[in-house]
Every structure is written in C-alpha cells, then in structure tokens.
Amino acid sequence: MFHDGAYRTIGDVEFATAGWVDWYNNRRLHGSLGMTTPVEYEDAHYAALNQQVQPA
C-alpha cells in the first residue's frame, strides 16, 4: 500500500493519493465506529433505516 522510494512523476503522486483516499474512506478500521470500516458502518446505518421505513 505504501510507496517505497521517491515519487518520480505527478502520476506517481496521484496514484499514491488515490490509494490513500480509497483506504481511508473504505478499508480503515475506525474506533469511533465500533472498529468497523466507514463503508460497513454506512451500510448498516442505511439497512437499519430501510427496516424502519417498511409499512407494516
């Protein structure tokens, strides 16, 4: 995931930045979210909302 050595081109920097943003937004475990990823937490949140909205 992390880059070894110097970045040689702006493309290297863009690729590394995109990788970090993907990790930060999708795969990191977040202590404030019960050690789940942001994506897992968001999916659970919307699933709970959808269960509440269903007509009985």
- Give the separation between CA 13 and CA 44, rounded to whole angstroms: 33
Q: Where are the domains of the chain?
A: 10-53
Centre a 10 Å sphere on the Cβ of residue 25 and count the other Cβ atoms it contains. Answer: 12
By the 8 A CB rule, do 37 and 29 touch? Answer: yes
pLDDT of 12 reads: 92
The reply to whether the predicted model has a pTM over 0.85 is no
Per-residue pLDDT of the chain (56 residues; tens, 9 = 90+): 566 789 999 999 999 999 999 999 889 999 999 999 999 999 999 999 888 766 66
